[in-house]
Amino acid sequence: MKKNFVLASLLLGILLNGWAIAFLELPFYQTVLVLAGISILVMTAVQERFIFLYAITITLSYGVFLTIYAFVNQQSAEIQLLYMYGHLLLTSFLLLYWILMNFIKKFGYENNDLKHEVRLLQKYKGVTKLLTLPEFDEQAQWLLKSKERNKEEAWFVKISITSPNKRVKVNLQEELERLALQSIRQKFDLATGDMGAIYLLLKNTHSEGVQIVLDRFWEKVQAEINLSDSPYATVTEQVTDAEQLAGLMGKPL
């Protein structure tokens, strides 16, 4: 609401300013209208750091022109006062438009920040911060292409929760997702989860490295969850491309 009020006030001020320039018909008012129109185009097109510099340059240049013109033509004090009014209208117009441009750009930056936050939220699921399935698929395709270029291995791990009890499975899902994320290399490996399963994609490793991750995961499970038997089963397989990965996850490519 406050932003809408500020925006409406700025637009109204600019419109009233332009109307005053045209209606009062002060000396050189046509020149002022031309300068205002050109300034709208220029200030919209130039980079942000040059907008205020441009506005100051136009304001000072027009003021110098009026001063020299009044001096050369020996204008009366009344005419010089009209020059000052015209100069003030141009200055206020440029100032209001500069404020409007900054307000709009600031509003745009805030929208971009919000979009960025939304994208981040769309990348991660729940409180465990595992990747969402779409984000996992997207990053997995890049990882597999990178693996192929660098002649590396990539391994897929599926952790299936074996409990038949739905409530237990839901509780275990969140806990095992958190522990799985702690067991992988954050900057290299990928992890996501679906109901009853957790998927890992391990980059630049081998079968022994996969076993190290699984052993680390099991140690964390034993330390965090008080169960006599393992609450999950695992499947591991070396992955070569996205089509194979989609098949292992039981999804169409």
Q: What is the CATH number of the domain that holds 228?
A: 3.30.70.270
**pLDDT for the residue numbered 122:** 58
Residue found by looking up tokens 């991750």 in the block:
213
In a domain, 38, yes or no: yes
- Tell whether 161 and 56 lie within a shared domain: no
Q: For residue 104, what are the domain limits?
A: 2-121
23-67 pLDDT, tens per residue?
Answer: 988 999 899 999 999 999 998 888 878 888 999 999 999 999 999
Q: CB count, 10 Å around CB of 160?
A: 12
Residue found by looking up tokens 């292409």 in the block:
145
What is the DSSP code (8-state) at residue 205?
-
Q: Please give the tally of structural domains in the chain.
A: 2
Name the pLDDT band for 253 (thresholds 50, 70, 90).
very low
Name the pLDDT band for 251 (thresholds 50, 70, 90).
low
Q: Of 147, 221, 142, 210, which is closest to residue 182 (Cα–Cα)?
A: 221
* pTM (predicted TM-score): 0.55
**pLDDT for the residue numbered 116:** 53
How far, in Å, CA of 140 to CA of 23, rounded? Answer: 65
119-155 pLDDT, tens per residue?
Answer: 655 577 766 778 888 888 888 888 888 888 888 899 9
What angle, 0 to 180 degrees and rounded to 10, lies between the N-to-C axes of helices 48-72 and 29-45? 160
169-200 pLDDT, tens per residue?
Answer: 888 888 899 999 999 988 789 999 888 899 99
83 in helix, strand or coil?
helix
How far, in Å, CA of 101 to CA of 90, rounded? Answer: 16
61-117 pLDDT, tens per residue?
Answer: 999 999 999 989 988 888 999 999 999 999 999 999 999 888 888 877 767 666 655
- Tell whether 130 and 114 lie within a shared domain: no
In terms of C-beta density within 10 A (0-12 exposed, 13-18 middle, 19 or more buried), how is residue 239 classed?
buried
- Tell whether 133 and 116 lie within a shared domain: no
Distances (CA, A) of 170 to 45, 97, 161, 232, 234: 55, 56, 9, 13, 18
191 in helix, strand or coil?
strand
Residue found by looking up tokens 């185009």 in the block:
41
In a domain, 236, yes or no: yes
- Tell whether 111 and 136 lie within a shared domain: no
In a domain, 253, yes or no: no
How far, in Å, CA of 17 to CA of 12, rounded? Answer: 8
Encode 214-251 in three state secondary structure.
HHHHHHHHHHHCCCCCCCEEEEEEEECCHHHHHHHCCC
How far, in Å, CA of 42 to CA of 37, rounded? Answer: 9
